[in-house]
Amino acid sequence: MSTAFPDAVPSQDLHELYRDHAGWLQGWLRRRLGDRERAADITQDTFLRLLVSGRLPSVDEGRSYLAQIARNLVIDQWRRQRIEQAYLDSIASLPEPQSPSLETRAIIIETLLQIDAMLDGMPAKVREAFLLSQFEGLTYEQIAERLQVSLSSVQKYMTRAIQACYLVLYSE
């Protein structure tokens, strides 16, 4: 039984795009990243993203479209590495018996990435209100004053933020 993607990209069109631009994209990434293997991986991930999305660029925008997808993938990788490193740095000073197992570390890193994506997806005022509430312990009134908005706006922001948290927790 074969599995098809919804709105799948015609394989001939994708093949032609790959044939015409994969070498260029890999070279472009290699010059920017300085790493042949990472460039090859991101090139493949770029075309996989196209396959899954079901959308192909027009002939005249192929390279710019591929470069934008690749840039986004690089940014995602850097963000993941930054979060992983921050977590690993935070547990590096723990004594061995208190250090989490590799499995627990992987789960925590994945959770941190989900939280980061959730926060990144929030509008700026919603994110700021949520962070002021959760990390600085400010009351809604104090948040309203700090953000120079009404109390009802803060209540709406917090409702949106809590809904986003709920979606992260219960989306799987």
Distance of alpha carbon 147 from alpha carbon 160, whole angstroms: 16
Residue-wise pLDDT tens digits, 114-166: 888 888 888 999 999 999 998 889 999 999 999 999 999 999 999 999 888 88
Distance of alpha carbon 122 from alpha carbon 26, whole angstroms: 33
Q: Summarize the confidence of residues 47-60 as an average pLDDT.
A: 81
Which pLDDT score is estimated for 49?
Answer: 87
* % of the chain residues with pLDDT over 70: 92
Distance of alpha carbon 20 from alpha carbon 40, whole angstroms: 16
pLDDT at 10 exceeding the cut of 70:
no
pLDDT at 6 exceeding the cut of 80:
no
Instruction: Kindly list the distances between the CA atom of residue 75 and the CA atoms of 60, 70, 98, 106, 116, in Å, as whole numbers in the listed order.
Output: 25, 9, 32, 20, 13
Residue-wise pLDDT tens digits, 85-111: 888 888 887 777 777 888 988 888 888
Distance of alpha carbon 34 from alpha carbon 30, whole angstroms: 5
Q: Spell out a b/e string for 29-49, using b for 16 or more CB atoms within 10 Å of the CB, else e.
A: bbeebeeeeebebbbebbbee
Q: Can you tell me whether residue 106 is helix, strand or coil?
A: helix
Distance of alpha carbon 168 from alpha carbon 172, whole angstroms: 8
Biggest CA pair distance of the chain: 60
Which pLDDT score is estimated for 11?
Answer: 67
